[in-house]
Structure formats: C-alpha cells, structure tokens
A and B are shown apart, each in its own frame.
Chain A
Amino acid sequence: MAKEEHLRKELERQRDEITRQRNEIIESIQYASLIQTSLLPPGKVFDKAFPRHFVLFIPKNIVSGDFYWLVSKGHRTYFAVADCTGHGVPGALMSILGISFLNEIVTMRDNLPANRILNLLREMVMKALHQTGDSTEALDGMDISLCIYDKGKNILQFSGANNPLYIVRQDVVIEYKPDRMPIGVSGIEEQPFTNHYIELKKNDNLYLFTDGYVDQFGGPEGKKFKFDPFRTLLLKIASLPMKEQGKILRETFEEWKGDYVQIDDILVMGINVF
C-alpha cells in the first residue's frame, strides 16, 4: 500500500510539474503572440491606405506562420500576404524574419519593382538561413503575394512566390499566376520572379490569400474546400461592402470546418481601391 501511495504521489507531482511547465510555455507564446501582432500593420494604417478592405486572419495556434504586411511610401503602397514554412512557433519566427526583411528592403531601396523586391527578399532569407542549395538542407522559406499600388498612376504591380492574386472585375475572377518557386532555396536553381503590371478598373476587388482557406477539410464529405468554390464564393460576395465580405468568408469557413480540426493558419485580404 505504501508503495502505491508513493507512486500516486509521484504521479501527482509529475502532473503538477507538467501543468506548470505547460502554463509557462503558453504564457510565453501568448506574449510572443503580442509581439507578432504588434508587427502586423495596425488597422489605422490599413484604413488610411485602403479605407475599403478586410483582413480575415485566423491563426491555427496562438502564434502564426502567416502574416500580412503593408507600408506606404510616397504615392506607393506596398502590401503582401505570406505563408511561412510550418505554423506555430517556427512559422512565427520565419514570419518575423519576413516582415523585418520587407521593411528593410522598402526603407533602403527606392522604387524597386515588385519582382525585384522578391528577388532581394529571397537573397536575404537564403543568407539568413545559410542556404546554399545543398540537397541535404531544410527547404525553409515562405510563399508570398506582393503588390505595389501606385495611386497616382492607378497601376498595380504584382509578383508572387507560389501565391496568386485574384482580381474580381465585373463578375469575372482574373487570376494572376505566381511563379512556381518559394522565397528561399528550392530544388531548382533560383530564377528571377515575374513582374505583372496591372491597370486597375473601377470597382476592382483585389484578393490576396494563403492556402489555409482552400486546404481546410470539412463539409459533408470531409473534403478540402478547394479553389473553384473559393472563386465562386468571391464572385458571389464581391459586390458587398468589404467588411461584410470578410464576415461572410469567416462564417463560411466556420461552417465548412464544422467539427474538423483547423489544419493551417487562415489569411485572406480583400481590398477595393475605389
């Protein structure tokens, strides 16, 4: 009996210790989450640049591997939506790296086109992670859609690393395809990213997003949401006010997910430039 009692006490002690450690980790990650949130563009800055917009951001964990970014400089506004390798803490660390590098590029280099920003961002990530294309090294990095909106000329530049840009214009979804390579080293040698120059029309809606939304399992048959239904949904809601669109996207997501586990961070950004 004495032995059983001893064992019980030991188990209790271990349980308490694990609980204490878990709480400490959660507190520390929650604090990290505050830091990560403070690095994202504040609502006021976003509103000033694009009064009509929404950002649907549902991290899978407390901290997220997805991030969005926006900086205005002169008559140009740079904005991006990115998805870093992994989610949770590793993804968050990479996202902080991405945000810092983007800020540095835009601060130090004037008037770089969108694709050259991505070229440079890839160089910075490769250097920071000591990537040399060696087949044994980890392929850490990020996928990103990056846009530069020139208000004076009403021209949008887009360059994408694995992530596309959708523009809904008069009941049509126009897809600007990304280059099929990440920001970071990959199996093939680095090529320059492509720059798209897009003349925007009145009432164009821009959508930038990571793959979390379309990859979410759910629905009656437990399948992925996929791109076609996503495009259809965007078409359906495109004429609604942007905030309303964000709300519907959230509700549709929750409904689709149902009791399934959220598999990745969710990030969708919608902007109406007029």
Chain B
Amino acid sequence: MKLLAFRIQNFRSIIDTGWHRLSSDNITGLIGQNESGKTSILEGLRSFYDGKISEDVLRSDLSMPEVSCLFSIDDLEIKSILNDKLLPAGVSEQIISEKAICLERIWNEDLSSRILLGGDKVIDLFAQHDKTVALKNAKMEDALSAMLEKKKEAIVAYQQAEKEQLKVETQLDDAKATMNEINKSLRGVKKAEEKKKLQKQMADAKEKVNQIKSLLHEKNLEVQELSKKVQAVSEEAKYAELNREAWHEYHAVKKELDEVFGRLTNLQRLYDHALTEKERRAIQLEMDGVNDRYMKLLKEYEQKRERAIKRRLLAYKILENTPPAAAEKEVEREQPHLDPFYSRLEAGNVIMEHIPEFVMFEDFSSLLPNRIDLEDILSGNIAVEGYKAARNFLEVAGLDEDFFRESNSRILKQKIEKLNKDLTIDFQDFWRQRIGRHNKITINFELEHYDHTHPDKSGFPYLEFWVKDRQERLYPKQRSRGVRWFLSFYLELKAAISHKDFKGKVLLIDEPGLSLHARAQEDVLKVFEHIKEKIQVIYTTHSPHLIDIRKLYRLLAVQRNIHNDENSESVVFDAKSLTSASADTLSPIYTLMGSRLSEQQFIQKKNNIILEDLTNYYYFSAFYSLLGYPSEAFFLPATDVSNVQTLVNLLMGWGLDFIVVADESPAGVKTYEDLKKSVYGNDDTRTREKVILMEGFQGVEDLFSTLDFKKFVLHRRIGIPESNSDFVNDNKLSRTLLASNFLKSVQELKITDFDEETRENIERVFQAISDRLQPAD
C-alpha cells in the first residue's frame, strides 16, 4: 500500500488543507516561509499514524483535529486484508473501482482518537447499511411489542370472561334458591287458585334457571376458549418476553456500571487532589473496593449484553417463522454478539495494520551518540540520548542480543572489526558524495566496559562510536553537525529498508540537512531518489538545493491565507496551482532559477525563446535535441501562460532579444492579442515577427500525432479520439511529469522514430522559430 494523498483539518494553524496528492514518484517537498504550517503537515501525518496529539495542536475554536489519508490498494489486497467479516454492499466494489482506500483519524475531546474507514461514497454505503439494519430491527421490535400487547389483551379478555362466568353462576344459584322457595310454598298450599298461581311462578322460575344454565354454558365455553387463546399467545410471546427481560437486565447492569464508573472517576479526582497521605490512603482503600465492584459488574455487563443480543436474534428468527428449536441452534452457531459486518471503525483498524509505517526523522533523537549503554539499547530505553540512532546502527549491522553474549573476547573483537569494515564499505557505497574535503569516512563502533571511574556502572558494557577519516578519529559529537546528520540519516534509511518485516515506510523529514553544505544538500536529494522505490519521502525545506527544478510537480507550497498574518490559517497549493502561491513562498524556486542563470545560461543577449510554462519547456528542449538544431536557442519557461507578458517586459527592460511561442488555446490567443496591443501597437505584422502562435494546436502535446503521443509520452495503448491536450486535461494527468519524463527518454530516440504527422508538426514550428532567430556571433 502506498500513501497517495492526505487531508488535514483543525490541526495547529490548519483549518482544512483539502485533499492533496503526493508526488507519484514518492518524493514530495513542502515549501513555504517560516510559520507557514509546513511542519504542522508533517506532524499531522505523524499523528495520523500514532494517534498522539498534545493540547498544543488544538485550535482556539476547539474544533477537534481530523487527518485523512488515501492509500493505494488492489482487489487482492482488500480481499486478503478484510477477510474476517463482511463489508456492507457496494463498499468493496467502490474501493476496488477507485483502487484506493481512505482512512480517517478523528480525535475526541480527551485527546483519544479513532480510525475510521472513510471516503464520501464509502461512508454513504455504510450509512445506507446501518439504516437498512435499523429499519429491519425497528420492524422486528414493533412486531415483538405487538406480540406482548396481544398477550396482554388476551389475558384481560380471559379475566373479564371469568368474572362474567362467576356472575352468571351467582345468578343461577339465586334462581335455583327462588325455585326451592316456590317449591316449599307449593307443598303447603291447598287452595287451587293459589296453587295454580304458585305453579305458574314455579314454571317461570324453572324457565329462568334453564335460561341461566344455558348462558352459563356459553360463558364456560367462552372462558375455555379464552384460556386456550391465552395459552397460545403466551407461547408465542415467550421469546419476546425473554428478550425484553434480558434487555431489562442488561440496562439495569449498565446503569449500575455507569454509576460505579462515575464513583471511581470521582474518587480518582479526590485522590489526585488529596492533601495528606492519610487522606490518600483512605481514598485508595475505598477506590479498591469500588474497583472490585466495577470489575465484577463489567463481567456481568458483558454476559448480560451477550445474552440480550442472543435473545433478540432468537426472537427475530422466531418472528420469521423459524421453529424455536432450530432457531436456538442457529443462534448458538452464529455468535450474534459478533456483528457479521465490519463497522467503519473495525475496518479502519484492520486496514491501519497494513499501511506503510510513518516515521518522523528527528535530528535530536536520531543523531548518533558518542556512547550508549548496551543495557539501554537492549531494554529499549527510548529516553536515553541517541537511542534511536544507536538502535538503527545495530539493525543496519544486523546485531541482536545474542551477538554480545559471545564470551570469547578475541572472537568478539574480530567480529566487531569485520562488521566495522562491512559497514564502512556499505556506507561509502551508499554515500558516494564527498563530505567536506575527505572522501573516505569510516564508521567504527567498539564494545567497552565501564571501569572503576564509574563506580555505579563498573563492569557494565557500553558501545562507543567513532567517525574516522584519513586524519582523525573523533567521536560523533566532535564531528560537524552536518556529518553527524548525514550519518544518522544514512542509518535511519538503511535500518528502515533492512528491517525484516518491512512493509513500506513514509519518512517525514523536517528541514533535512539544514546544517549541510549546499552540495551535500543536493546529495540528500540524490539519496531520496535512491530510496524512493522503497520509501516515500515527504520533507519540508527552505533550501533551493533540495528542489529539482525539472521536477516541480513534487512540490506543495504552504503559506498563511493572509500574507504576514501568523494567526491566519495555513493553505496548501499543489504543483498545478503553484502560481497562486505568494512570491515569498516560492522564493526557493526563484532562488534556484536565479542561481542557475549564470551556470546554465538561461537568458542570453539574443535568441531567447519564451515559452508558456515548464511543460512547453520540457517538450521544446526535447524537440530541439531531437532535431539536432544547429541554431542557438535558449528556451525560457514562464511559470504560466499568464506570466508570459511579465517575462517579455523583463527582457525588454534588460534590452534582451526574444521571441514568444504560444499555442492556440484561448489563453495562448489572449497572450498574443495582449502582446499585440501592449507591446506592438496593434500591428499584426510586427507581432508575428516576435510571437509565434502555433495554429491548430490547443496545447504543445498536440504537436505529437496521437500514435506518437501514446507511444512515446503516455506509454499506453488506448483509444484517444480527442486531442492529446484534451486527453491529458480530461484525465487530470500531470502535464509537467509527462513532459519531464519525455525529455529524459529523448536521448534514446531519433526524429525518424516519430511518424510523419509528428515530424511535420515539429518541423513546422521549429521552422517558424528558425526564421526569427538571429545568426550566432
């Protein structure tokens, strides 16, 4: 995986850098004035990796920092890395289609942080997934509540029916008693009329008893029916009840856990502010008790949580008509407390383990010490001076603890001597450039033991380092800071590459080689080139010697939004918009161009050819070399077509002769018209003598036939029906990078390698240039 781009928000002077891509050739430079925010970018990236920030980085508006990084990834990688769980629908496809994965680190108010899988489209897909799951769960919860409600209603109906049944039974008893009364009376009555009356009453009473009996029968049936119903719905609602009960218990434990945690926090605060030891002991005692309770509750909480989640899933399965026994088995098998889908947090943490390591190369901790105790290195005592450099040294030398266990001091000495030799050869191979006047610098280390002059450490082993040249054997600290820096830098890079489980590295370097001579600084750049296939380098610099004028696409310019206001936010410009940066910010580039003028003879008395930009400069230099042009021509790139006129004014001011070549894009035509109006008094003929408009070509890339452009510039076989310049713009390719690479490759080409169309186009433009050049002196 490779770091492709970053975005930093709310970090020191940065509000939002926006997304910025790193140079595709793995070397990215940050330029800008002091306090512009360059170092904040490096720190932001380091914090992205290790998650650590201090209060100092927080902005005054207290908005919390966020750093996002985009990494390259292919489909095989994503499948092999995220293989424990599922990703929500579409996420994998989205990542594969973009061949990139975004990670976001977001800090909380307590300065803790979390890593999330990011990217707008990916976040949308996760949100959609969460919404679908939430909707499904809400539907299930509604169904469970309805089930419990149904049971409640059935019980109420049953109880009501029972009451009515009792009432009817009472009515029956009453009717029967009335009948008995009449019967008794009937036995004592003699008179026929009275008897007849009572008989009628008896008949009515019997009728009523029968009616009530019938009603009672109905009520009995109803009660039986409702009883069955209650039984049935109770069975149905059993799992809903178990679910509710489990969640009730979970919430109760959670509440208690939160209360206990609150008490623990309070006690900790009291402990921290306790004035006396006695007070502290008392608080500690209480804290121990509360802590025990907390640990017990935590365990209970986990159990209750797992049970509640399982019961919920069981209830859901039964709602979906799975038979209870089968549902229970499935739940046990599925481990529902583990969500089958990755959350953004989980996926982010997994991916994080596979990204390249971000390392900040820091001068002070990384400089090689004079001596260091072996114990400190082996025990990883990072606080000790020069620990990191010494550790790097051992790694480069391939030494581990076992090496120093050699009891035979002669053998150990021999081994050390051999290692010193190997290391020196390797170092000299890696660093071919001269350091000061002495080319042959050698590195030495020795294993020594403290003597009686260090009573506290007497007999303990320590490592001593030396840097020797032909004349002197000196401790690292006795060497110039530049040499020490060089050496430590070498050790850091070598250690990084030689690490067994090397998984790629992003090296962040603030002001590399600040104390080095200009030549040596240029060599630092060469070293970056040497390691760029394995290590991505992001460095800040003020030095023009750490900028390659042919590779300005590597630069990001950092400056304050409001000039000279150190409280305003930092803004970043990428290579395409460098012209928007202030002159102060771009001063290393200007210095570089200025410093090269005398050396490379950029500008001459005559035959200066002003071109629109660096892209034109690279292509025209390449064409010039291809054509083997006999005439003298000095190509001069403006930083953008809009700056051509400034350059024209400058050359006119210096009394230097020039011609201008512009393409027929709207900007090119405007330049032609502007020059015609402002310099040549609206005279077309005079303008044409000095300004060549490449008619029919919207961009310098269109001088190539499509076939040659694909073959020699893009190195791709795809259909390009549009113009080459449109293709480059539409596909957001770096024009400068393509042109620079073409210039590099041109030494191996001949003009006859190009097809007739390309040759015609180039020759036409160069003929026009040639017609306007003056003979050499």
A133 with B717, Cβ < 8 A, contacts A191-B707, A192-B707 known: yes
Given contacts A119-B706, A120-B706, contact A127 B720 (CB under 8 A): yes
Return the chain B residue nearest A195 by Cβ. B756
Residue in B closest to A124 when the chains form the complex, CB atoms: B721
Count residues on chain B whose CB falls below 8 Å from chain A CBs.
Answer: 14
Q: Taking CB as reference atom, which chain B residue is nearest A126?
A: B719
B718 within 8 A of A: yes
Q: Residues of A contacting B720 with CB < 8 Å?
A: 123, 127
A263 CA to B711 CA, complexed, in Å: 38
Q: How far is the CB of A174 from chain B (nearest CB, A)?
A: 24
Q: How far is the CB of B318 from chain A (nearest CB, A)?
A: 43
Query: Distance in Å from the Cβ of B730 to the closest Cβ of chain A?
Result: 12
Does A116 lie at the interface of the complex (its beta carbon under 8 Å from any beta carbon of B)? yes
Is residue B149 within 8 Å, beta carbon to beta carbon, of the partner chain?
no
The 0/1 profile, CB within 8 Å of B marked 1, for residues 129-143 of chain A is 101110000000000
Whole-angstrom CA separation of A214 from B726 in the bound complex: 43
Residues on B with C-beta less than 8 A from A123 are 706, 719-721
**Which residues of chain B from 440 to 478 have any CB-CB distance to chain A below 8 Å in the complex?**
none
Given A192-B755, A192-B757, A131 and B718 contact (CB-CB distance below 8 Å): yes
Minimum CB–CB distance for A104 against chain B, Å: 9
Q: Is A150 an interface residue (CB 8 A)?
A: no
What B residues does A127 contact at CB under 8 A?
718-721
Q: How far is the CB of A192 from chain B (nearest CB, A)?
A: 4
B718 lies within 8 A of A190 (CB)? no
Is A128 at the interface (CB under 8 A from chain B)? yes
Chain A residues contacting B234 (CB-CB under 8 Å) are none
Give the CA-CA distance A183 to B196 in the complex, in Å: 123
Q: Given the complex, which residues of B lie within 8 Å of A116, measured CB to CB?
A: 757
Give chain B residues whose Cβ lies under 8 Å from the Cβ of A190. Answer: 707, 710, 717
Selected from B707, B716, B717, the residue in CB contact (under 8 A) with A119 is B707
Instruction: Provide the residues of chain B in CB contact with A228, threshold 8 Å.
Output: none
Q: How far is the CA of A243 from the CA of B717 in the complex (A)?
A: 44
Chain A residue contacts of B705, Cβ below 8 A: 119, 192
A150 to B552 CA separation, bound complex (whole angstroms): 50
Residue of A nearest to B754 (CB): A192
Q: 8 Å CB contacts to B: which residues of A93-117?
A: 116
- Chain B residues in 8 Å Cβ range of A125: 719
Contacts A192-B755, A192-B756: A131 and B719 contacting too (C-beta < 8 A)? yes
Q: In the bound complex, what is the Cα–Cα distance between A10 and B719 (angstroms)?
A: 52
Report how far A129 CA is from B757 CA in the complex, Å: 25
Partner of A189, one of B717, B719, B757: B717
CB distance from B714 to the nearest CB of A (A): 11
Q: How many angstroms between the C-alpha atoms of A185 and B757 in the bound complex?
A: 21
| Cα separation A189 to B716 with both chains bound (whole Å) | 10
- The answer to the question of A122 belonging to the interface, with a C-beta cut-off of 8 Å to chain B, is yes
Inter-chain contact B716/A120, CB cutoff 8 Å:
no
Give Cα A231 to B710, complex, Å: 39
Q: Is the CB of A122 within 8 A of B719?
A: yes
Q: Which residue of A lies closest to B755 (CB)?
A: A192
Q: Complex: how many Å from CA A189 to CA B755?
A: 14
In whole Å, how far is B652's beta carbon from the nearest beta carbon of chain A? 38
Contact with A along B701-730 (1 / 0, CB 8 A): 000011100110000111111000000000
Type the 1/0 row for B254-283, where 1 means its CB is closer than 8 Å to any CB of A: 000000000000000000000000000000
Chain B residue with the shortest CB-CB distance to A134? B717
> What chain B residues lie within 8 Å of A120 (beta carbons)?
706, 721
The answer to whether A132 and B756 touch across the interface, beta carbons within 8 angstroms, is no
Docked complex Cα distance between A129 and B721 (Å): 12
The closest CB in chain A to the CB of B711 belongs to A189
Closest A residue, CB atoms, query B708: A192
Interface string of A223-257 (1 = CB under 8 A from B): 00000000000000000000000000000000000
Query: In whole angstroms, what is the CA distance A133 to B716 when docked?
Result: 9
Interface centre among B707, B710, B757 (most CB of A within 10 A): B707
Cα distance, A132 to B705, chains bound together (Å): 18
Give 1 or 0 for each of B745-769: 1 = CB within 8 Å of chain A CB: 0000000000111000000000000
**Alpha-carbon distance between A17 and B426 when the two chains are bound, in angstroms:** 81
A126 pairs with B706, CB closer than 8 A: no
Distance in angstroms between the alpha carbons of A173 and B717 in the assembled complex: 38
From A189, A190, A192, name the one whose CB has the most chain B CB atoms within 10 angstroms.
Answer: A192
Interface string of A4-19 (1 = CB under 8 A from B): 0000000000000000
User: Do residues B717 and A185 form an inter-chain contact, with CB atoms below 8 A?
Assistant: yes
Q: Which residues of A contact B719 (CB under 8 A)?
A: 122-129, 131
In the complex, what distance in Å separates the CA atom of A124 from the CA atom of B720? Answer: 7
A215 to B61, CA, bound (A): 81
| B707 pairs with A126, CB closer than 8 A | no
Bound form: Cα–Cα A133–B715 in Å: 12
Check A132–B718 contact: CB distance below 8 A.
yes
In angstroms, Cα B710 to Cα A132, docked, is 11
Q: How far is the CA of A185 from the CA of B707 in the complex (A)?
A: 13
CA distance A209 to B83 in the complex (A): 58
* Minimum CB–CB distance for B723 against chain A, Å: 11
CB distance from A125 to the nearest CB of B (A): 7
Shortest CB–CB separation between residue A124 and chain B, in angstroms?
4
* Closest-CB distance, A5 to chain B (whole angstroms): 41
Instruction: Kindly identify, within residues 369 to 383 of chain B, every residue whose CB is under 8 Å from any CB belonging to chain A.
Output: none
Residue-wise interface mask of B (653-674) relative to A, using a CB-CB cutoff of 8 A (1 in contact, 0 not): 0000000000000000000000
User: Which of A127, A129, A185, A191 is the most central at the interface, judged by chain B CB atoms within 10 Å of its CB?
Assistant: A127
B756 CB contacts on chain A under 8 angstroms: 192
The smallest C-beta distance from A31 to any residue of chain B, in angstroms, reads 30
A149 to B755, CA, bound (A): 24
Chain A residues 164-218 with CB under 8 Å of chain B are 185, 189-192
Q: Collect the chain B residues with CB atoms within 8 Å of residue A131's CB.
A: 717-719
Within 8 A of A (CB), among B523-571: none
CA distance A123 to B705 in the complex (A): 11
On whether the beta carbons of B721 and A132 are closer than 8 Å, the reply is: no
Beta-carbon contact of A132 and B755 below 8 Å: no
Q: Could you tell me if B706 and A132 are in contact, using CB atoms closer than 8 angstroms? A: no
A125 to B, closest residue via Cβ: B719
List the A residue with the shortest CB-CB distance to B706: A123
Residues in A with CB closer than 8 Å to B718 are: 126-127, 131-132
A53 to B706, CA, bound (A): 36
Chain A residues positioned under 8 Å from B716 (CB to CB) = 132
**Which chain B residues border A192 with CB–CB below 8 Å?**
705, 707, 755-757
* Chain B residue with Cβ nearest A133: B717
A261 to B533, CA, bound (A): 61
Closest beta carbon of chain A to B701's beta carbon, Å: 15
Complex-state Cα separation, A127 to B716, whole angstroms = 12
Nearest A residue to B717 via CB reads A133
Please, which residue of chain B has its CB at the minimum distance from the CB of A116? B757
Cα of A242 to Cα of B12 in the assembled complex, Å: 85
User: A126 vs B706: C-alpha distance in the bound complex, in angstroms?
Assistant: 13
* A122, B710: Cα distance in complex, Å: 13
> Which residues from chain A contact B755 at a C-beta distance below 8 Å?
191-192
**Alpha-carbon gap, A15 to B718, bound state (A):** 47
A132 touches B717 (CB 8 A): yes
**Whose C-beta in chain A lies nearest to the C-beta of B710?**
A190
Q: Tell me the bound Cα distance from A190 to B720 in angstroms.
A: 12
| A128 to chain B: closest residue by CB | B719
Taking the nearest CB of chain A, how far is it from the CB of B715, in angstroms? 11
Q: Which residues of A contact B721 (CB under 8 A)?
A: 120, 123-124, 127
User: Contacts of A122 on B, CB cut-off 8 Å?
Assistant: 719
**Interface set, chain B 30-75, CB cutoff 8 A to A:** none
The CA of A122 and the CA of B718, in the complex, are separated in Å by: 10
Known: A120-B706, A129-B719, A133-B717. 8 other contacts (CB 8 A): A116-B757, A119-B706, A126-B717, A127-B721, A185-B717, A191-B755, A192-B707, A192-B757
User: Can you name 5 A-B pairs with beta carbons within 8 Å?
Assistant: A116-B757, A123-B706, A123-B721, A126-B717, A191-B707
Residues of B within 8 A of A (CB): 705-707, 710-711, 716-721, 755-757
Residues of A within 8 A of B (CB): 116, 119-120, 122-129, 131-133, 185, 189-192
**Closest 10 CB pairs between A and B?**
A126-B719, A127-B719, A133-B717, A124-B721, A192-B755, A123-B721, A123-B719, A132-B718, A123-B720, A132-B717
